[in-house]
Amino acid sequence: MLQSILADVRKEFTMGNVVNRLIIINVAVFIIVNLVKLSLNLANQGEVPPFYRTFVEFFSISSSILHNVTHPWVFITSIFLHESFWHILWNMLFLYWFGRIVGDMIGDRKIFPLYLLGGLVGCFVFWMSAQFMPFGAGGTVYALGASAGVMSIVVASGMIAPDYNMRLLLIGDVRLKYIVFFLVLLDVFALGGDVNTGGHFAHLGGAFMGWFFVQQLRVGNDWSDGVNNVMSKIIQFFSEGRPQNRTTKERTLVVKKNYQKNTETLSKAEIQDRVDIILDKIKASGYDSLSREEKEFLNNASSD
């Protein structure tokens, strides 16, 4: 059973959209962290040892500039890190609900940049707020979680499709702009409380990034391009020299070789390869990004 589950997860991570990939990464990290906690608990006669906190803080953003400078990876690792079940549950539900809207409206390739940039801004706002607000006066505090990145996507969805209807349990259809406004307002009101004040500042930092990202899109500046280019170079660097079976690049060569061929002259495997490439392109950039030949090929393949 476990092998079957892992196979399904690998398939979804490889073939699924960016929202699903982000959810898989977050859940995997959550499982690892809690397995570490469980192991330490059992090895320490049922009590969680201090080392566990050291382990979590090693990957968390801190109010201490020294910690952040000496642990630069925390700006990335902290936005994928969760300890509490309810924390990750609500973050992943929001990521799934609102991320699908953003992906459908402006393309799948905008999701990760929104998540990453929102998380980075959230980390910075958390650190800044800890320097000037009372919650940081009692010593070093730490923050973790995907909330800032998720709030970036939430606010972006409200700006892109403000009149989109979401059906809420016991309420019915509610326009997206009111839901997003209410969620941001909750974080604003929470600043006056004594619970997770730094976290709420980080949420608002992510919300600002979502607003700013869409504003820049409207004037022709696509901040996702830079992020995606960097990620492509990183992936390419780690992929060089690896033995690969039948990669997308190789499949693309097959497509180009048979570009002008009718589906009647191709084998079923070749047709499926071509259809897979076209569907990946639709998922990333939308149907309108297809060339006339690609649209004709997809239409012919679906009618066979």
Q: State the CATH architecture for 2-229.
A: Up-down Bundle (1.20)
Does residue 255 have a pLDDT over 50?
no
Structure tokens at 28: 């995997």
Mean pLDDT in residue range 169-179: 91
- pLDDT digit string, tens, across residues 216-250: 999 989 999 989 888 888 888 887 656 554 444 44
pLDDT of residue 278: 75
Judge whether 147 and 199 are in contact, CB under 8 Å.
yes
Count the neighbouring beta carbons within 10 Å of the beta carbon of residue 213.
26
Among 139-153, 186-200, 251-265, name the one with the lowest average pLDDT: 251-265
- 256 or 273, greater pLDDT: 273
The conformational region for residue 64 under phi > 0 = left, psi -120 to 50 = alpha, else beta, is beta
Among 18-22, 192-196, 213-217, 234-238, name the one with the lowest average pLDDT: 192-196
Tokens 């500039």 appear where?
Answer: 65
d(C-alpha 229, C-alpha 69), whole Å: 25
Q: pTM of the full predicted structure? A: 0.78
Please state the domain extents for the chain.
2-229, 244-303
